[in-house]
C-alpha cells in the first residue's frame, strides 16, 4: 500500500510541509509498512488546464510542464490514498493546488483512476478561524469529482481534516490543537486503508 501527500504551498519547507510530515509520521504509528511519498508543488511549474481535450483520448496532456512528472508518480498501482495540504489563500486553496486538481482531470477521464482511493486534506490559516473549513471543503470537492472516499481527522477531533493556525503564539509546532488534527488525520488514513484492503 502507498499513500501520497501533496504539498500545495508555494513555499518550500514551510508550515504546510511540516503539517504533512506530522500526518505521515502518525500514519506510520498505525502501520509502519505503508509506503508514503510527499510531493511538493513549491518551485514547480504547473499551468492550469486549458481544456484542450487531449486527455479525453489518451492518458496525456498537451501542456509540457512539471505536472507530467507528478502524474506519472500518481499512476502507482499500489496507491490507496492521497492527502492534500494547502495553506489558506484568500479563503481557499493556493493557485498551485488548484492547478494540480484541474490538471488531474486526466485521471478521471482515463478510467476514474482515483475512484475509491482514500482522500484527505489539511490546511493552515493565518488565524485560528481563518478559512480552514472552506479550504478543506474546496479540496474535498475536487476529490469528490474523482469519486474518492473522503476522510476527516478521525476520532477525538473528527472534523473536516487537519486544521492549523500558522500564527499561534509560540509557533504552530507548540499548538496541541493543530497537531492533534494532523496526527488524527494520518491515523485515520491508515486505519481505513486497512479496512479497505482486508
Cα distance between the two ends of the chain: 12
Instruction: Please check whether the domain covering 2-49+56-197 is classified as CATH 3.40.50.360.
Output: yes
Single pTM value for the model: 0.96
What does the alpha-carbon distance between residue 4 and residue 69 come to, in Å, rounded to a whole number? 14
Residue 105, by phi and psi: left (phi above 0), alpha (psi -120 to 50) or beta?
Answer: alpha
10 Å CB burial of residue 197 (0-12, 13-18, 19+) is exposed
DSSP H helices, the chain, are: 15-30, 67-74, 95-103, 105-109, 132-145, 176-197
Kindly list the domain boundaries of the chain, sorted by start residue: 2-49+56-197
Query: What is the full per-residue pLDDT of the chain (198 aa) written as tens digits?
Result: 999 999 999 998 999 999 999 999 999 999 999 999 999 999 999 999 999 999 999 999 999 999 999 999 999 999 999 999 999 999 999 999 999 999 999 999 999 999 999 999 999 999 888 999 999 999 999 999 999 999 999 999 999 999 999 999 988 888 999 999 999 999 999 999 999 887
3-state helix, strand, coil in the chain (%, to 5): 40, 20, 40
Amino acid at each position: 500500500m502507498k499513500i501520497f501527500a501533496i504539498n500545495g504551498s508555494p513555499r518550500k519547507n514551510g508550515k504546510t510541509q511540516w503539517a504533512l510530515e506530522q500526518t505521515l509520521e502518525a500514519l506510520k504509528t498505525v502501520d509502519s509498512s505503508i509506503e508514503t511519498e510527499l510531493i511538493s508543488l513549491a518551485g514547480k511549474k504547473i499551468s492550469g488546464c486549458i481544456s484542450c481535450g487531449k486527455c479525453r483520448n489518451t492518458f496525456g496532456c498537451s501542456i509540457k510542464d512539471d505536472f507530467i512528472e507528478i502524474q506519472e508518480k500518481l499512476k502507482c498501482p499500489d496507491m490507496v490514498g492521497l492527502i492534500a495540504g494547502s495553506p489558506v489563500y484568500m479563503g481557499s486553496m493556493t493557485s498551485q493546488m488548484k492547478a494540480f486538481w484541474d490538471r488531474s482531470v486526466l485521471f478521471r477521464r482515463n478510467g476514474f483512476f482515483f475512484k475509491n482511493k482514500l482522500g484527505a486534506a489539511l490546511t493552515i490559516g493565518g488565524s485560528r478561524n481563518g478559512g480552514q473549513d472552506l479550504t478543506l471543503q474546496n479540496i474535498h470537492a475536487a476529490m469528490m469529482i474523482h469519486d474518492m472516499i473522503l476522510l476527516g481527522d478521525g476520532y477525538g477531533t473528527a472534523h473536516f481534516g487537519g486544521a492549523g493556525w500558522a500564527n499561534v503564539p509560540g509557533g504552530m509546532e507548540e499548538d496541541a490543537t493543530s497537531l492533534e488534527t494532523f496526527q488524527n488525520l494520518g491515523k485515520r488514513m491508515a486505519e481505513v486503508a486497512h479496512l479497505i484492503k482486508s
